[in-house]
């Protein structure tokens, strides 16, 4: 299996954890500290992203905003995105699905 995965989380431990697992199955990892960092990094990347894993609560730009920005961009409007968050309120889940 090959391809690039974008991991966005302000926790280094979480980024490392996901990176470790996904690298072990042969994926190439791009990590970012927050939404703004993620956008900067993917615009400097050539080739397609397979999937994006993102946290919600992050400084500078949160996960909801990141997802909205990606969906506005024709290159990323269909990118599979998985939200990984400890937010468990129904409204948080709804906002995630809306994005
Ligand atoms: Mg966080």
CA of 14 to the centre of ligand 1 (A): 9
Per the model's pLDDT, the better-predicted residue between 96 and 40 turns out to be 40
Ligand 1 center from residue 9 Cα (angstroms): 6
Q: What is the pTM of this model?
A: 0.90
Looking at residue 97, what is its pLDDT?
A: 84
Q: Work out the percent of the chain whose per-residue pLDDT is above 70.
A: 98
Residue 23 sits at φ, ψ, to 5 deg, of -65, -35
Distance 88 CA to ligand 1 centre (A): 13
Residue 32 CA, ligand 1 centroid: distance in Å: 12
* Per-residue pLDDT tens over the stretch 16-44: 999 999 999 999 999 999 999 999 999 87
Tell me, in angstroms, the distance from the centre of ligand 1 to residue 56's CA.
6
pLDDT of 49 strictly over 80 = yes
- 61 alpha carbon to ligand 1 midpoint, in Å? 11
45 CA → ligand 1 middle, Å: 24
Burial string for 62-78 (b: 16+ CB within 10 Å, else e) reads: bbbbbbebbeeeeebee
| pLDDT at residue 1, rounded to an integer | 62
Q: How many residues does the chain have?
A: 99
């Amino acid at each position: 299996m090959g391809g690039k995965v974008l991991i966005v989380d302000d926790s280094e431990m979480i980024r490392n954890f996901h990176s470790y697992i996904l690298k072990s199955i042969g994926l190439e990892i791009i990590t970012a500290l927050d939404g703004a960092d993620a956008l900067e990094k993917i615009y400097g990347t050539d080739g397609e992203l397979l999937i994006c894993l993102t946290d919600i609560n992050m400084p500078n730009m949160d996960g909801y905003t990141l997802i909205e920005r990606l969906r506005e961009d024709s290159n990323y409007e269909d990118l599979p995105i998985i939200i990984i968050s400890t937010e468990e309120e129904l409204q948080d889940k709804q906002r995630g699905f809306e994005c």
